[in-house]
Amino acid sequence: MKYRFLLILLLAAQWIAAQEKVRYQIFFDNAVHHEARISATFPSLPGGPVKINMSRSSPGRYALHEFAKHVYQLSATDSKGKTLTVSRPDPYSWLVTGHDGTVNVTYTLFGNRADGTYTGITSLYAHLNMPATFMWAEGLENRPVEVTFNLPAGKNWNVATQLKPESGTTFSAPHLQYFMDSPTHIGHNLLREWTVNDRGKTKTIQLALHHNGTNAEADAYADRIKKVVQEQQAIFGELPDYDFGRYTFLATYLPQADGDGMEHRNSTVLTSNSSLRQNAGDLLGTVSHEFFHAWNVERIRPATLEPFKFMEANMSGELWFAEGFTNYYGGLVLVRTGDESMGDYAKRLTFVANYLINSPGRRYFNALEMSQQAPFVDAAVSIEPHNRANTYISYYFYGEAIALALDLSLRGQFKNVTLDTYMRRVWEKYGKTEKPTPLTTSASP
């Protein structure tokens, strides 16, 4: 009885420790020089050295990017402020020893690229992709996370994110996987919100837009996004059940931004150096593509991407479906909303078909094998010459051609059956019934 009681106490202590939050604070006092100052507190640690990692890859991007190269002025203390010994076991990790159960880490981060992978910090905004911004302690991946964004004084900045609001500018995530999948835009975001009735549930769609245009342009763009949301809802018969009942479009259309789109579970990053006045149609194409991912890849999700591994490249053979079918619908939805003509869409499909038929790459890799090339081609960094012009076909276009062929085949062979019918069935069988994301993450390559 005594030992059972001691075991219960031990398990209770372990459970309490596991629930203690990892806490982050981020400050932007030197944003004009593209720097942020970040502190992280890792409490209730087991004895022995603690390995602090800076991620090497980012959700939705499959190559290595080595975010640690932007970290400097790092120091560590214990709960009493005592300076701790820090060493470097590898280029992307720090080993902290001599702690008393708590490690406080402080570091400076440089970031000057606003896109779907990196972090961009300027006097106008802070565009944060979490793997490129926040370190994490190995072994604490299942702990809840809390982050406070300390906004610069005198600026009319706000925070837009899929993270759960707590109080003020403090937000939370249930675990590391969710936190790393939650990009955050801080700045003068114009907020446009509307609700959608979905099977008796009210769901909120939010556009957080940072641009140099007018409020009228923002209103018109939000109206066009509403039509995209409505058309895609009709394809699947419903919207996903967004965490916290909200989906957010994080749009930064400024000269300093780099063109990109990146899907996340309940939000998407949309960046461009173009403007709504000049290029709203093309920008809306990215909106349509990325929003389709809320079903296809975020919930109809390849098992090869669960859980996402932050310390190594992530390979999947299913990107021809995840990206290619999404590419097919990105334009098709705009035809249905009236934002793209059938003629222009037909020209696009003609290009895709010709590209696939005439590319020599088909002799070397099939659609699955092309998908597995993503760690080498998806914004991957390399300087040596390569032969991809002859050996590679984009899995975006490969999958788009397959989607076109399947859609035409279904329409030709069955009455009232299209690719919409197929996608809805895939959603009902594999996406709607998804299980929660595994909490653990691979810590070492």
Question: What is the reported pLDDT for 434?
Answer: 78
The residue written with tokens 């069955």 in the block is: 414
Evaluate whether residue 309 is within a structural domain.
no
Q: How far apart are the first and last CA of the chain?
A: 44
- Mean pLDDT value across residues 98-110: 98
The answer to whether residue 35 sits within a structural domain is yes
Rounded Cα–Cα distance for residues 253 and 248 (Å)? 15
- Lowest mean per-residue pLDDT among 78-92, 222-236, 371-385: 371-385
Provide the pairing of β-strand 35-42 with 170-173: unpaired
**Which tops the pLDDT comparison, 405 or 10?**
405
282 part of a folded domain: no
b/e string for 129-141 if b means 16 or more Cβ within 10 A?
Answer: bbbbbbbbbbebb
CA distance 253 to 194: 21
Q: Considering the chain, what percentage of its residues have pLDDT values greater than 90?
A: 91
C-alpha distances (whole Å) from 60 to each of 65, 154, 226, 340 are 13, 35, 24, 27
pLDDT class of 18 with cuts at 50, 70, 90: low
**Cα dist from 275 to 114, 166, 209, 386, whole Å:** 15, 33, 11, 34
- What is the pLDDT at residue 437? 57
Q: Which helix (H) or strand (E) holds 350?
A: helix 342-358
38 Cβ neighbours under 8 A, 6+ residues apart: 24, 25, 26, 27, 106, 107, 108, 109, 133, 134, 135
- pLDDT given for residue 83 in this prediction: 98
- Identify the CATH number of the domain in which residue 59 sits: 2.60.40.3650
- Whether 126 maps to a domain, the answer reads yes
Q: Mean pLDDT throughout 310-339?
A: 98
pLDDT for 5 equals: 44
Q: Is the peptide bond before 307 cis (omega within 30 degrees of 0)?
A: yes
For the cut 80, the answer to whether the pLDDT of residue 8 exceeds it is: no
Residues of the domain holding 94: 18-154+166-181
3-state secondary structure of 247: strand
Which pLDDT band, with edges at 50, 70 and 90, does 4 fall under?
low
- Please name the amino acid found at residue 273: N
Number of helices followed by number of strands (H, E) in the chain: 12, 20
Encoding tokens for residue 80?
A: 């009493």
In one letter, which amino acid is 172? S
Q: Comparing C-alpha atoms, which of 211, 227, 174, 201 is closest to residue 333?
A: 227
Picking from 355, 348, 350, 349, the residue whose alpha carbon sits closest to that of residue 370 is 355
The predicted structure's pLDDT at residue 52? 98
Residue 63 lies in a domain: yes
Q: What is the model's pLDDT at position 154?
A: 87
- Characterize 3-42 residue by residue with b for buried, 16 or more Cβ atoms within 10 angstroms of its Cβ, and e for exposed: eeeeeeeeeeeeeeeeebbbbbbbbbeebeebbbbbbbbb
Parallel/antiparallel/unpaired status of strands 71-77 and 35-42:
unpaired
pLDDT tens by residue, 272-322: 999 999 999 999 999 999 999 999 999 999 999 999 999 999 999 999 999
Residue 79: which pLDDT band, with cuts at 50, 70 and 90? Answer: very high
Provide the pLDDT for residue 19.
Answer: 76
- Please give the mean pLDDT across all residues of the chain: 94
Distance CA 184, CA 267 (A): 10
Q: What tens digit of pLDDT does each residue of 383-420 get?
A: 899 999 999 999 999 999 999 999 999 999 999 999 99
Backbone φ, ψ for residue 111 (5° rounding): -155, 125
pLDDT-derived band at 381 (thresholds 50, 70, 90) equals: confident
**What are φ and ψ of residue 79, in 5° steps?**
-65, -20
Do the domain assignments include residue 26?
yes
Closest CA to 222 of 275, 271, 163, 284: 284
* Total domains present in the chain: 1
Residue 298 maps to a domain: no
Say how many C-beta atoms besides its own lie within 10 A of residue 372's C-beta: 18
Q: Give kind and range of the element (H or E) at residue 196.
A: strand 190-198
Given a contact cutoff of 8 angstroms between Cβ atoms, the answer to whether 325 and 423 are in contact is yes
The pLDDT tens digits for 162-201 are 999 999 999 999 999 999 999 999 999 999 999 999 999 9
User: Per-residue pLDDT for 251 more than 50?
Assistant: yes
The predicted model scores a pTM of 0.93
Taking CA atoms, 64 is separated from 56, 68, 136, 373, 376, in Å, by: 5, 11, 17, 13, 9
What span, in angstroms and rounded, lies between the C-alpha atoms of 309 and 305? 8
Q: What is the band of 1 on the pLDDT scale with cuts at 50, 70, 90?
A: low
Q: Is residue 214 assigned to a domain?
A: no
Q: Mean pLDDT lowest for which of 44-48, 87-91, 132-136, 435-439?
A: 435-439
Percentages helix, strand, coil for the chain, rounded to the nearest 5? 35, 25, 35
